[in-house]
Chains A and B, each alone.
Chain A
Amino acid sequence: MSELSSTFDFKKPFLFGGVDYSVPVYILIGLLISIIVWFSIGFRYVFPEAISGQFDFQLIINNAETWLQIHAKVYTRAASNFVGYYLEQLEMFLWFKPWPVVTLALVLPALHYGGLRLALFTLFGVLFWGMMDMWDPAMSTLALMGVSVLFSCFFGIILGILCSQNDALEASVRPVLDTMQTMPSFVYLLPAIVFFGIGGPPAAMAIIIYAMPPVVRLTNLGIRQVPETTIEVAESFGSSRLQTLFKVQIPQALPSIMLGINQTIMMALGLAVLAVFIGAGGLGEEVYKALKRLKVGWSVEGGLCIVFMAIIFDRLSLAMSHPKESDMLKDNTEMKFRLLPQRLARNKIAIAFEKLIDIIWYSVAVLGYYFVEGLAILSERLVKIFNKNLALSIGILVRSFRFLLSSLFVIILVLIWDSWIMEIGYFPKDWQFTIRKPIDNAIDSLIVNPYFYGFTKGLKEFIFFYILNPLEIFLIGLPWLFVLGAFFVISFFSAGMIFAMIAVCLLFFTGLSGVWELTMQTLAAIVASVVVCVLIGLPLGILAAYNKTVDNIVRPILDTMQTMPAFVYLIPVLYFFGGNRVTAVIATVIYALPPMVRMTNLGLRELPKQINEVSDSFGSTEIQSLIKVKLPMASPSIMLGVNQAVIMALAMQVITPLIAGEGLGKEVFRAMETADTGRGLIAGIGIVLLAILLDRLTQAWTVNQRKALGL
Chain B
Amino acid sequence: MNLKNKLTTSLFATLLAIGFAGSASAGGMLRAPVPDWTGGAVTCEVIHYVLENEMGYKVKRITMPSGPGVAEGERAGDIDFHCESWPSYSTTNDIYIKEWGGDGSIVKLGDAGPIGTSSYWIPSYLIEKNGGPIKNEPKLTDLNDHVDLFKGMDTGAKGRLLGCPTPAWECRDQDRLDMNGINFKAIELGSETAHWAEAQAAYKRKEPFVLYAWTPHWIFAVLDLVSVELPAFGSVEWPASGWDVDVTYNAGRPGMLTEHPEASQMIMNASITNVQQAGMIKAIDIDGRDIEEVVAEWMEANRDVWSSWVPD
Binding site for B on A (CB under 8 A): 73, 88-89, 92-93, 96-97, 189-191, 193-194, 197-199, 276-279, 281, 285, 288-289, 291-294, 393, 397, 400-401, 404, 408, 411-412, 415, 444, 447-448, 453, 460-461, 464, 570-571, 574-576, 578-581, 657-661, 666, 669-670, 672-675
Contact = CB atoms under 8 A, between A and B. Distances in A.
Nearest to A282: B63
Given A277-B65, A675-B95, A661 B205 contact: no
B197 A276 contact: no
Interface residues of B, number: 60
B151 interface: no
Contacts of B20: 89, 92-93
Contacts of A666: 190
B177 to A, nearest CB: 18
A675 B71 contact: yes
A288 B63 contact: yes
Q: Closest 7 A-B residue pairs measured CB to CB?
A: A93-B19, A673-B168, A279-B64, A198-B78, A579-B189, A193-B72, A658-B191
24 contacts: A89-B16, A89-B20, A93-B16, A194-B72, A198-B79, A279-B73, A293-B218, A294-B200, A400-B4, A401-B7, A453-B205, A570-B194, A579-B162, A580-B152, A580-B187, A658-B191, A658-B193, A661-B190, A673-B167, A674-B91, A674-B92, A675-B68, A675-B72, A675-B91
Given A89-B20, A93-B20, A397-B7, A659 B64 contact: no
B15 A578 contact: no
B174 to A, nearest CB: 15
A193 B11 contact: no
Interface stretch (B31-39, B48-56, B124-132, B271-279): B31-39
Contacts of B21: 96
B23 interface: yes
A447 B206 CA distance: 11
Residue of A194, A393, A581 contacting most chain B CB atoms (<10 Å) = A194
B23 A92 contact: yes
Per DSSP, chain A at the interface is helix
A206 B191 CA distance: 24
A494 to B, nearest CB: 34
A580 B162 CA distance: 11
A279 B167 CA distance: 23
Interface in B5-22: 7-8, 11, 15-16, 18-21
B297 interface: no
B201 interface: yes
B200 A670 contact: no
B282 to A, nearest CB: 14
Contacts of A670: 167-168
Nearest to B16: A93
A89 B18 CA distance: 12
A285 B20 CA distance: 26
A674 B68 contact: yes
B77 to A, nearest CB: 9
B63 A279 contact: yes
Contact of B205 (A190, A278, A448): A448
Contacts of A191: 72
B69 A193 contact: yes
Contacts of B157: none
Interface of B: 3-4, 7-8, 11, 15-16, 18-21, 23, 31, 33, 36-38, 62-65, 67-69, 71-73, 75-76, 78-79, 91-92, 95, 152-154, 162, 166-168, 187-198, 200-202, 204-205, 218, 285
Given A657-B191, A659-B189, A674-B168, A294 B63 contact: no
A574 B16 CA distance: 45
A197 B76 contact: yes
Contacts of B67: 673
Nearest to A91: B23
Contact of B62 (A279, A412, A581, A659): A279
Given A194-B75, A658-B190, A673-B166, A574 B19 contact: no
A278 B64 contact: yes
A408 to B, nearest CB: 7
A673 B68 contact: yes
B4 A397 contact: yes
A444 B204 CA distance: 8
Contacts of A581: 154
Most buried by B among A189, A278, A660, A672: A660
- Name the residue in A92, A193, A659, A669 with the highest tally of chain B Cβ atoms < 10 Å from its Cβ: A193
Contacts of A292: 36-37, 192-193
Nearest to A97: B19
